[in-house]
Structure 1
Amino acid sequence: MRNLKVLAALAAIGALSACNMSSDRDRALAGAVGGAVVADVLDTNVVAGAAVGAAAGALCDDAGVCN
């Protein structure tokens, strides 16, 4: 249960911090860092977490999340 709370907090912080970035590259970098941290906390593949985070960060404004 504690890991779930930590994961939720990290995901929220990562999602909100990427919204203040001005370019897709900056948001992708912030997402990659956030994804890697979350993957490390969950003891899963850090590279895959970074890739998913980078994709989410780069596409968040296109999806209307970071407006």
Structure 2
Amino acid sequence: MNTMTKRLTAVALATTLAVSLAGCSHWSKRDRNTAIGAGVGAVGGHVLTNGSGVGTLGGAAVGGIIGHQVSK
């Protein structure tokens, strides 16, 4: 996977996340932070592991946990 494809994938994932979260305005702050953390973690995991599915899922899990804990 080349650099341009990685960047386009990251932008597409970030855009999808932003559009998805726009419909979740009734969520609590903790729920929003969890979802944002999972989305950012997924993008980060995807980029850092060169598109590995396991890296993407791992990043989403870690990001979701961090986002959830930030709200405490």
**TM value normalised by structure 1:** 0.60
Task: Give the count of matched residue pairs.
Answer: 52
User: More helix per residue: 1 or 2?
Assistant: 2
Identical aligned pairs, as a percentage?
A: 27
Q: Output one character per residue of 1:9-66: Cα deviation in whole Å (capped at 9) or x when no partner.
A: 000011111122212222111101101100111117x49x828xx4xxx8xxxxxxxx
1:9 partnered with 2:22? no
Distance 1:31 1:42 in 2: 17
Distance 1:41 1:33 in 2: 12
3-state secondary structure, aligned to 2:23:
coil
Alpha carbons of 1:19 and 1:26: their partners in 2 closer, same or farther (altered >3 Å)? farther
Answer with 1 or 2: which has the greater Rg: 2
Q: Which runs of 5+ in 1 are unaligned?
A: 59-67
1:34 aligned to which of 36, 39, 53? 39
Q: Which runs of 5+ in 2 are unaligned?
A: 50-58
**TM value normalised by structure 2:** 0.56
